[in-house]
Amino acid sequence: MRLKGKRAIVTGASRGIGRAIALRLAEEGADLVVNALHAERLAQVVKEVESLGRRAIAVPGDVGSCETAKRLVDAALTELGGLEILVNVAGINRDAMLHKMTRDQWDEVLRVNLIGTFNTTQAAAIHMREAGYGRIINISSMSWLGNIGQANYAASKAGIVGLSKTAARELAKKGVTVNVVCPGFIDTDMTRALPQNIWQLMMDKIPMGQVGDPRDVANLVAFLASDEARYLTGEVINVSGGMVL
C-alpha cells in the first residue's frame, strides 16, 4: 500500500494501459479520478476500483480541451480533497506515411497526445507547486525516436518528452517530480487493431520474444508515483522487453 491516502488522476483509463494503471494505483491505496472519452467503459472501471475498496470518480471528456483538464483537477480537489498524482495516458494514433498524411491526421494526434498532456500537466502543476508535492507521469512511446508511418504520433510523443523534462526542471524545487514512461509493444486494443503482418514484425524486434502486458507498464508507474521514487525526475524509462536498448 505504497500510495495510501494519495489522490490520483488517470486519463485514458477506460481500457488498456490506462485501466491497468488505474487498478494498480488503487491496489496501492490511491483514490482516483478517472477520465476517458466514453462514459460507459469508464463506469466499469469505477466499479472495478471500488471493488478494491478505493474511491473512483469518473470524469469523461476530451483531454484536448482545457476545460476537461480543469474539471479533472477540480474533481480531485473538491471530491477527493487533494491531488498528489497525475498520470497522462490518453492517446491515439492515426498512422500514414508522411507523403500521404492528411493535415487532419496530424492535427488530431497532436491535439490529443501533446496538447492533451499539456492541458492536464499545467492544470495539475498549478495546484501541486502550491501544495509542495506531486508526481506527474506521462506516457510517451518508444516511437518518439521515430517510426515509419507515425510522423504525427512520433512528434506528439517526442513533444511529451520535451514538455516533461522542462516541467521536471521547473518543478524540481517544489517537490514535484515529472517522469516519462515509454511502453514498447503492449497487448491492448490499440495494438490489436494492427494488421497481422505488422504485429509479427513488431514481435520479431522484441528480444524477450513476447508482447508486453499493460500491467508491466502499470508496475513502473506505481513505483514512480510512490515516495520511493522521490529522487528521480525528468527520466525517460522504456518498458519494452529490450526492444529499445
Residues interacting with ligand NAD, by CB under 6 A?
A: 11-12, 14-18, 35-38, 62-64, 89-92, 112, 139, 141, 183, 185-186, 188-191
- Known catalytic membership, residue 153: yes
Q: 147 vs 226, which CB is nearer to ligand NAD?
A: 147
Q: 133 vs 138, which CB is nearer to ligand NAD?
A: 138
Q: 18 vs 159, which CB is nearer to ligand NAD?
A: 18
Cell numbers at residue 202, please?
Answer: 513488431
With cell 480533497, the residue in question is: 81
Is residue 177 within 8 A of residue 233, CB to CB? The reply is: yes
Cell numbers at residue 183, please?
Answer: 511502453
**CB 18, min distance to ligand NAD, A:** 5
**CB 139, min distance to ligand NAD, A:** 5
d(CA 51, CA 137): 25
**CB 142, min distance to ligand NAD, A:** 6
**CB 130, min distance to ligand NAD, A:** 26
Q: 133 vs 185, which CB is nearer to ligand NAD?
A: 185
Q: Which of 106, 144, 153, 185 is catalytic?
A: 153
SS3 assignment for 140-203: CCHHHHCCCCEHHHHHHHHHHHHHHHHHHHHHHHHCEEEEEEEECCECCHHHHCCCHHHHHHHH
DSSP character string of 168-185 = HHHHGGGTEEEEEEEE-S
Q: Which residues are catalytic?
A: 153
